[in-house]
Amino acid sequence: MKKTMTRLADGRELIYYDLRDDVVRDDADHRPLDPVSTASEIRHDRLLGDSVAIASHRQGRTYLPPADACPLCPSRDGRATEIPAADYDVAVFENRFPSLAGDTGRCEVVCFTSDHDASFADLTAEQAALVLEAWTDRTAELSQHPAVQQVFCFENRGAEIGVTLGHPHGQIYAYPFVTPRTERMLASLAAHREKTGGNLFDDVLADERADGRRIVLDAEHWTAFVPYAAHWPYEVHLYPKRRVPDLLALGEAARTEFPQVYLEVLRRFDRIFGPDEPPTPYISAWHQAPLHAADRGEFALHLELFTVRRTSGKLKFLAGSESGMNVFINDVPPEAAAERLREVASE
């Protein structure tokens, strides 16, 4: 992997990750851009105890432009984009419309490929491995940011999820606090340790493998399963078999095997509802240990993948119980979801 760092016309960082070492990245960004002006603010909810980012400047961000106006495509034929180069493997840059900036953290865009019409599932194993290297490298860099407490790499795909750009890409949020979902995991982890003396993540993985009904894919170094209490119609959790707190600590064997495993899971997601359905919308989220948690070594790096589509042509909406009380109601039994994901395995 070759890493090249440069800057866009407004001063934002742009980092290229290339498969070839002989690639030269010296294309300049000549767009007449004004400096990025953000108004991000973190407010604390005294009743719930969580934090909310107020970011009014995001109202003006680009929304579902046509393919010939995509800002994540390479700059070609006289049309300048966020990527000055005429082609790229993986590119990461500071979001022009960040939810978090400065003392409130940082937001980055990760472009998985220069091919506008592709998706992550279309990548080769070599390309997917490069994305993993980019996630790992950005986690290392952002962990040094003095305001950052937690690094979150994720992908939203599909208009149903709410994406504003159709080009295959993800994001990285570097939060100045530990997220509420992670706080709940840490609390459950501590309670389980006090009650049993064991590690909750290890025991969940061991229990799922022993049960077997919800296992989707069991590789040498990774296990993919539908969780016992899945919140979403089709939801898969992907764990390395050796517990590590973050991407930086992922062993070489697991790192090497990850692309094949993850690509297979994504391709199965696209086959859940049959060949005549459009690509399955999903959220794919890496859960990493908070940077300064006292028990971060007990935390287990894992990826959670889920879709809001519950059946052909129908979505799972977060209505009164989910949005009002955070109590999920799932129409698809986890065992049935796992069986379906096994049925659509690659030949």
Known catalytic residue: 169? yes
Contacts of 145 (CB under 8 A, 6+ apart): 105, 106, 174
Helix axes 252-269, 334-343, angle to 10 degrees: 90
Instruction: Please state, in angstroms and rounded to a whole number, the distance separating the CA atoms of residues 274 and 270.
Output: 8
List the beta bridge partners of residue 286.
303
Query: In this structure, are residues 245 and 296 in contact, taking their beta carbons and an 8 Å threshold?
Result: yes
- Active-site residue identified among 44, 57, 169, 302: 169
Alpha carbon 292 to chain centroid, angstroms: 21
Nearest of 89, 106, 88, 110 to residue 97 by alpha carbon? 106
Token pair listed for 268: 């199965």
Three-class SS of residue 128? helix
Instruction: Give the closest residue to 214 by CA, choosing from 232, 198, 231, 229.
Output: 229
Q: Distance of CA 70 to CAs 73, 118, 125, 138, 225, Å?
A: 6, 14, 25, 24, 35
Burial class (CB in 10 A: 0-12, 13-18, 19+), 268: buried
User: Torsions phi, psi of 44, nearest 5?
Assistant: -100, 130
Separation of alpha carbons 323 and 327, rounded Å: 8
Longest dimension (CA), the chain: 64
99: closest CA among 57, 65, 139? 57
| Cβ neighbour number for residue 91 with a 10 Å cutoff | 26
| Whether 162 contacts 283, CB under 8 Å | no
Which residues are catalytically annotated? 169
